[in-house]
Amino acid sequence: MTQVTFIDPAGTEHQVEIENGTSLMQGAMDNGIDGIIAECGGACSCATCHCYVDEAWVAKVGEPSDIEKDMLECVLDPQPNSRLSCQIIIDDSLAGLVVTVPETQF
């Protein structure tokens, strides 16, 4: 298990434990984080699990794939630190990861 912090749009921090090998999105779903919708269940098809990775962690979580990049370009308010949380797989190296959930996914 790896500890991750989600910051919701109101600024409230939610510290959760996510099983290694599963996605950040799944961790959000399992812990009832409001604002991560994940309609497609992690198929990189819907872009409703968009989040902003804390600047200190951007390099550690790695680069998005081409398809993810294209999707991210078209989400509401894309930023250089935008990621789809279904494409971030949790492991020990991400212990302490901080991400912010956007106001809306649509």
- Report in angstroms how near the CB of residue 91 gets to another protein at its nearest: 16
Cα 54–Cα 32–Cα 72 angle in degrees, nearest 5: 45
Which residue, 9 or 56, has its beta carbon nearer to another protein? 9
Query: Could you give phi then psi for residue 105, rounded to 5 degrees?
Result: -95, -5
Quote the tokens at residue 73: 């370009």
Quick one: which of 10, 11, 12, 43 contacts another protein (CB under 8 A)?
Answer: 43
Q: Which of residues 45-84 bind another protein (CB under 8 A)?
A: 45-47, 67, 70-71, 73-75
Which tokens hold the place of 81? Answer: 């630190």
9 or 41: whose CB is closer to another protein?
41
Residues from 20 through 39 that contact another protein (CB under 8 A): 22, 29-30, 32, 34, 37, 39
DSSP class of residue 86? G
Strands 97-100 and 2-7, by their bridges, are parallel
Amino acid at 96: G
Task: Identify the residue whose tokens are 């949790």.
Answer: 90
Binding residues for another protein, rule: CB under 8 A, are 22, 29-30, 32, 34, 37, 39-41, 43-47, 67, 70-71, 73-75, 106
